[in-house]
Structure 1
Amino acid sequence: MAMTRIAYVDMIGGAAGDMLLAAFLDAGADRDALERALRTIVADGWTLTPRRVVKRGIAATFAGLVIPGEDGDAEHHHHRHDAGPHAHDQSHEPEHGAAGTRTLADVLGSVNRSGLTARQRERASAVYRRLAEAEADTHGATPENSRFHEIGQIDAILDVAATCIALDLLEIDELRCSPFPIGHGPIGIEHGLYPNLPPATAYLLRGWPTRAVDVAGELVTPTAAAILTTLAMAGRTSMTLELIGYGAGHSDFEVPNVSRVIVSTGRRFSSEASSARISLK
């Protein structure tokens, strides 16, 4: 048993890739260092302009990641199935693959050619393989042959990489997360009205604790589900709180649409390692 630096993601009102990015920034991750690293993946064509907002009385950071040309030049939206296999067609012409899509190899190539550290590339690649598995399971394909719409969008690529970079900037040894909140009602995607949870998210959350929330809408996007089920383990541990950050989403619910990151010092128990989690060391 040893002391370790822990980040706990508390999905108060859901989780999306941009909400996790915002929460880590709010907790103290160096924005300039993070942006420099992200620009080694995608050099231009996007802006990161965090700003303060209030969600149901909780002050939080909104990431403000904007990619002109994707999703009608709009900021990517928490509840639009941000990195799932069923997505709006993107208008941005990708660097690789057919217009509006990228393959898993395209995405991994972009990550591996970047200036990220080897550990950051490993983590980001592992997250994208999880997303590819979810896509393949949904459509009866193989991960290698799947073509992604929103999974391959620039915002989703940057969201995944940003979490991997932020973990290093905050010197996190262990990532943990709360149960995943699940809303109700149908979710509109490219193929029509889908159940809540949509198939890709349901695949990603198999074996992970969830909690029912009386909110109509999608609370956890595939990007966030893939990030956390790849890099984190479920549940809290005893810890001494040091930093707290709140990341805001786009929606307004009865509960604050925020994810909270608590950075702390705590005890690591090696027997608790999750088989679904890659090492953060």
Structure 2
Amino acid sequence: MSRTLYLECYSGISGDMTVAALLDLGADQQVLESALKSLPISGFDIAISRVKKAGLDVCDFQVILDHDNRDHDMAYLHGEHHHPHSDGHGHTHDSKTVHHHPHQVKKTHAHDHRGLPDIVGIINQAQITNHAKALAIQIFSIIADAEAKAHGVDRELVDFHEVGAVDSIVDIVAVAVCLDNLDIREVIVPEVYEGRGFVRCQHGTIPIPVPAVTHIAASHQLNLHIISAEGELITPTGAAIVAAIKTSDQLPKQFTIEKTGIGAGKRTYDRPSLLRAMLITDKTQKQDCIYKLETNIDDCGGEILGFVMERLFEAGARDVHYNPVYMKKNRPAYLLNVICTKADIATMEQIIFEETTTIGIRRIQMESTGLKRTVKKIKTSLGEAQVKVCELESGMRIYPEYASVVELCEKHRLAYQDVYHIIKKECEAAEGIRDGELVELNRFELPLSS
């Protein structure tokens, strides 16, 4: 059963903070360790521990590299203008720190500069689920687009000398694996807090929020909340994670908390560096809301589209249909429409992205009204048949189920319409249908699209 995650980003967000919060929330540590060991890269180790932040016992995830990394070097990042603040109770690792040594027979080196295709190749070789691979690649793609815009180059020319370093690969893959392990498909992020001032990077001193973060926030409509604290609270990796996984920025009016996890950050500002993650249950969720996913496709063959429809139905889509449309440059194309529940959105979108050439999907929430209906079985002169009984104020309507009609057609070698009308007529004449004596097979709790 998929779950809903609420991320509370009052201290910003980064890759390591997210991994730590998800581990504290219950993600399987052994699954994560196995996944990271399968990465075809070297030059890193990880440490998972319990630390104290503002007196709270929280989880810490650290990527330990065999080369210098100034990502958490406050003197380097902010120079002489930075005045470190204490968390009150410090940030100390206890004796539970666990070090992991991935296999040393690897194909790449920690200091390599990589493009997006190189990153994708590394992720695809990891022994993780397809869903985790797709999410990790999506996060890196968001960063690539933002860096390309910030530096004024094509996406293919972005050199991941910073965000593509080993620690970022490990952080992003770890986030994807933990989210997949927790079966999280809905993520609510109302806002993300960010500081102000300047921060030093390889290119020099740049303003906060850094350009990559501003481009991600603009492209993916992240709600930023700038506070008076001086310092970079949102890293490009953290912003890309939110952009990739956020499904809503609105908390339910009422919800219960199933579990809470807190991840520690490494940087020290005027507030504790903490990311709190909560698994929640919406107590106000309406049962009559459905979603429509739609996308325009002009470069897919009919056989592919037919296969996509089969996969979507098998995965639980309420309805799938195509409309012929004309796109830009008068190209004949198809508009794919998928009707599904909120819980199935991520599954449906993954299938569409995997099986078609589309690069974007529109998501529309709709309220649905449906008749109360019950599927029952009735004995007819032709044999047993299933019927759908729909209730109206003026009475009931009977609809023989397609599978039953076909089965009796083949059995008696009769035409479809003849069998359909025989079943319907005999069912309507049966006293039992009014008295509720027929055997009930299934009562739908939600209105269907048909």
TM range (shorter): 0.7 to 0.9
Give 2:376's aligned residue: none
Give 1:235's aligned residue: 250
Give 1:77's aligned residue: 72
**Is 1:185 the equivalent of 2:203?**
no
Choose from 250, 273, 276 the match for 1:257. 273
- TM superposition shift of 1:21: 0.4
- TM superposition shift of 1:264: 2.2
Report the AA paired with residue 102 of structure 1.
R
In 2, the alpha carbon distance for the partners of 1:62 and 1:226 equals: 20
Give 1:223's aligned residue: 237
Rate the CA distance shift 1:4–1:239 in 2: closer, same or farther, 3 A. farther
**What is the TM-score with the length of structure 1 in the denominator?**
0.84
CA RMSD for the aligned pairs?
Answer: 2.7
- TM superposition shift of 1:33: 0.9
Rate the CA distance shift 1:113–1:11 in 2: closer, same or farther, 3 A. same
In 1, the alpha carbon distance for the partners of 2:274 and 2:110 equals: 35
Report the AA paired with residue 16 of structure 1.
S
SS at match of 1:134: helix
Assess if the C-alpha contact under 8 Å between 1:37 and 1:165 holds in 2.
yes
- TM superposition shift of 1:70: 4.6
Report the AA paired with residue 182 of structure 2.
L
Rate the CA distance shift 1:78–1:181 in 2: closer, same or farther, 3 A. farther
Assess if the C-alpha contact under 8 Å between 1:179 and 1:235 holds in 2.
no
SS at match of 1:148: coil
- TM superposition shift of 1:59: 2.4
Matches within 5 A, 1:154-173: 154-173=166-185
Rate the CA distance shift 1:271–1:10 in 2: closer, same or farther, 3 A. farther
Matches within 5 A, 1:46-125: 46-71=44-69, 76-77=71-72, 100-125=112-137
Give 1:9's aligned residue: 7
**What is the TM-score with the length of structure 2 in the denominator?**
0.53
Rate the CA distance shift 1:99–1:168 in 2: closer, same or farther, 3 A. closer
- TM superposition shift of 1:243: 1.3
Rate the CA distance shift 1:41–1:14 in 2: closer, same or farther, 3 A. same
More strand by share: 2
Asked which structure has the greater CA Rg, the reply is: 2
Structure with bigger RCO (C-alpha 8 Å, 6+ apart): 1
Assess if the C-alpha contact under 8 Å between 2:42 and 2:109 holds in 1.
no
Which structure 2 residue ranges, 5 or more long, are not aligned? 78-105, 296-344, 348-450
SS at match of 1:66: strand
Rate the CA distance shift 1:169–1:97 in 2: closer, same or farther, 3 A. closer
Assess if the C-alpha contact under 8 Å between 1:231 and 1:280 holds in 2.
no
Assess if the C-alpha contact under 8 Å between 2:41 and 2:109 holds in 1.
no
- TM superposition shift of 1:69: 1.9
Give 2:413's aligned residue: none
Report the AA paired with residue 72 of structure 2.
H
In 2, the alpha carbon distance for the partners of 1:134 and 1:51 equals: 32
Assess if the C-alpha contact under 8 Å between 1:103 and 1:148 holds in 2.
yes
Aligned residue pairs total: 260
Give 1:280's aligned residue: 346
- TM superposition shift of 1:47: 2.2
Tell which deviates more after alignment, 44-53 or 205-214.
Answer: 44-53
Rate the CA distance shift 1:47–1:99 in 2: closer, same or farther, 3 A. closer
Choose from 25, 28, 31 the match for 2:29. 31
Choose from 148, 164, 173 the match for 1:136. 148
Assess if the C-alpha contact under 8 Å between 1:78 and 1:249 holds in 2.
no
SS at match of 1:246: strand
Tell which deviates more after alignment, 36-45 or 161-170.
Answer: 36-45
In 1, the alpha carbon distance for the partners of 2:111 and 2:64 equals: 20
SS at match of 1:116: coil
In 2, the alpha carbon distance for the partners of 1:52 and 1:188 equals: 30
Report the AA paired with residue 346 of structure 2.
L
Tell which deviates more after alignment, 133-142 or 39-48.
Answer: 39-48
Moved runs in structure 1, 4+ residues, more than 6 A? 78-81
Report the AA paired with residue 26 of structure 2.
G
- TM superposition shift of 1:270: 5.1
Give 1:245's aligned residue: 261
> Per-residue CA shift, 1:184-209, capped at 9, x if unaligned?
11111122221111111100111221
Matches within 5 A, 1:141-156: 141-156=153-168
Rate the CA distance shift 1:70–1:143 in 2: closer, same or farther, 3 A. farther
> Per-residue CA shift, 1:35-60, capped at 9, x if unaligned?
10122124653222212222223321
SS at match of 1:205: helix
